[in-house]
Amino acid sequence: MTAPLLSLRNLTKSYGPVRANRGISLEVGERSIHAILGENGAGKSTLMKLIYGVETPDEGEMLWKGAPLRLSSPASARKRGIGMVFQHFSLFETLTVIENIALVVPGQRRALLSRIRALGEEFGLEVDPLAHVHALSVGERQRVEIIRCLMTDPKLLILDEPTSVLPPQAVEKLFDTLRRLRDGGVSILFISHKLEEIRAICDRATILRSGEVTGHVDPRDHDAHDLARMMIGRDMPEPLPVTAAPAGEKRLELIGLEDTPDDPFAVALSSVNLTLRAGEILGIAGVSGNGQAELAAFISGESRLPAARREQVQMMGQPVGHLGPAERRRLGFAFVPEDRLGRGAVPELSLTRNSLLTAHPLGLQRHGLIDRARAAAFTADCIRDFDVRTPSAEAEAGALSGGNLQKFIVGREIMLKPKLLFVAQPTWGVDIGAATDIRRKLMALRNEGMAILVISEELEELFDLCDQIQVLRKGTLSAPLNARDTKPEEIGRYMMGAEAAREALSA
C-alpha cells in the first residue's frame, strides 16, 4: 500500500488560551475530494493555515507522501505542490488577471496567456486574462484564483468555503471543475459547513467540532442528519414555525431609488423598488458586491439623497431619503449592520457602553449624562433575554465570539421596539445554535407585526425566514418572489442574470 498524499498526526495549535486545534489526525488520499466539515469556529480555518504553511503547529507532525513535511511559509507549501483558494480572495484588485497570475507563476506573458486560455477550456474556468480584477464578479474572481493555483501544478488544492459566494448554478459548474481536476490527478480539500454539498461531491469527510475531530466518514453513506449531529453535537434544530398573518401598513418603500457613486469600485443603483409591510419579512438575495453595501447605506441613512429626491426612500409613510441615521431611528427604524466589529459595536468598549450607542433614547441618559444604573439594567436584560454568553456586562465587545456578539447586537436593536428592523447578514460567521436563536426571534417579531428587511448571501436562510425575496444584481432589484413557492434555482437565475444562466445551463 502506498502512503497517502497527506497525513496529519496529532496536530495542535493554540492562540493564547484558545486551543483552536487539538490532536487533529487525518489522511488525504490521492485523487480524493476530502471534506473538512465543521461549524464556524470549529477550527477549520486554523487547520488549513497549518497545511498551507501560514501558521506552524505547536505539536504534531505532517507527512507528505510518507515523508515529514515542515512548512515555514505559503511559498514552501506551494513548492511542495499545495495550493489554496481563499474564502476572501487574495487577488490584487488594481491589477489585471494576467498580472495577478504572473505574480505567482514564472514565464513569458504570451506563454501565460495561452496557458490561462487552455486551462480555462479544459476545466471550464473561462475568464478574460486582460480584465482588471476589480471589474470581475465574485465567481470570476474565484476562477482566477483556481487558475492561478492550477498553474503551479498542485497535487493538493485547498478550497475554503468555495460555494459561499456562488449562486446555485455556479456551484454545479464549480463541482464539475473539481471532478475534472480530481480525475486529472489533483486531490482536493474542500472546507464547508454545507452538508448537502459535501454529500454531493466528496468521497471522504473529516468532521471537526471545537477544534477536535469527531469523525472520519464517507459522506455518501450518511444522511445530512447524521453529519449534522457529528458537526454540532446534537440534533439539528427544528424548522421554524410559520404562521401566515395578514400584512399591515407600509413601513418601508423604495420608489425608483437610483444613485451613481463617485467611487469607481462602488456599484451604481438603478430603479430599485421595494415595499415592505408590517408583519412581513422581506429578503434581499444576491451575490455580494452587486450593490448590497450601497443599498444598505441608503436604507440606514449612512448615505443620503438630495432633498429633491427624498421621496425615493419612505419609512412609516414619510419621505426620509434626505434624513440621517439618527432621524430615521427616531421614526422607529433600527439597523444591524453586516460588520459586527466596528459598525455594529465598538470592539474596545464594554457591552454596557455598546448598549448606549443606539439605546440611549430609552432613558439611559439624564441631562446628557449616562444613567449607569439604567444602562446596566438594559444590558443585563439584553444578555438574559437573548442568551448572550459573556462573563459580564463589562466585558469588551471584541472579546465575545461572533455568535454571541451578534445576539447582543440584534437583541439591542430589538429592545428598541422598532417598527422597521433592517438586518444585514444576520447570521454571517455565527454558529448554528446562535443562528437558529436569531432566526427564531426574527420570526416571532414578524408574527407580532414588525416589518423586517434582511440582506443575506445564504439562500437557505432567506427561504427559512422570508415571506418575499427580491434579488439584487448589478444594482437592480428584481420583482418580489414569493418565498413559499419559488425554487432556489429560480432565485439563482436572477442572481446570475438571464443570459449567464442560459450559458451555465447549456455548458
Partner 1 sequence: MNAIEFILAGMLAAATPFLLAALGELVAERAGVLNLGVEGLMALGAALAFIVVYHGGGHLLAFVVGGLGAALLALIFAFVTLGLQANQVAAGLAIGIFGQGLSALFGKTYESLTVKGLPKLALPGLADLPVVGGLFVQDIVVWLSLLATLLIWAGFAFSKAGLVLRAVGENPKAAHSIGYPVMLIRLAAVLFGGVMAGFAGAYASTVYTPLWADGMIAGRGWIAIALVVFGTWLTGRIFLGACLFGAVSLAGLAAQAGGVELPSQLLASLPYLVTILVLGIISSNRRLLKLNGVASLGEPYKP
Q: Footprint of partner 1 on this chain (CB under 8 A)?
A: 54, 73-75, 78, 84, 86, 89-95, 99, 102-104, 262-265
Q: Which is nearer to partner 1, 35 or 84 (CB)?
A: 84
**Residue 101: CA atoms inside 13 Å, Cβ hemisphere, count?**
33
Spatial contact of 188 and 161, defined as CB atoms under 8 Å apart: no
CB of 210 to partner 1, least distance (A): 26
Q: Which three cell numbers stand for residue 504?
A: 451555465
Q: Which three cell numbers stand for residue 476?
A: 437592480
Return the DSSP state at 203: S
CB of 94 to partner 1, least distance (A): 6
Q: Which is nearer to partner 1, 146 or 278 (CB)?
A: 146
Q: Which is nearer to partner 1, 273 or 303 (CB)?
A: 303
Q: Which is nearer to partner 1, 102 or 395 (CB)?
A: 102
CB of 84 to partner 1, least distance (A): 8
Long-range contact list for 483-490, CB < 8 A, 24+ apart? 483/283, 488/168, 488/459, 488/463, 489/168, 489/169
CB of 173 to partner 1, least distance (A): 25
Instruction: Write the single-letter amino acid at 266.
Output: A
CB of 257 to partner 1, least distance (A): 22
Q: Which is nearer to partner 1, 93 or 218 (CB)?
A: 93
Q: Which is nearer to partner 1, 25 or 90 (CB)?
A: 90
The three-point CA angle 8-10-15 to 5° equals: 105
d(CA 436, CA 424): 16
- Exposed e or buried b per residue across 409-421, where buried means at least 16 C-beta atoms within 10 angstroms of its C-beta: bbbbbbbbebbbb
d(CA 161, CA 39): 11
CB of 224 to partner 1, least distance (A): 33
Q: Which is nearer to partner 1, 85 or 228 (CB)?
A: 85
Return the DSSP state at 338: S
Chain centre to alpha carbon of residue 184: 30
CB of 77 to partner 1, least distance (A): 9
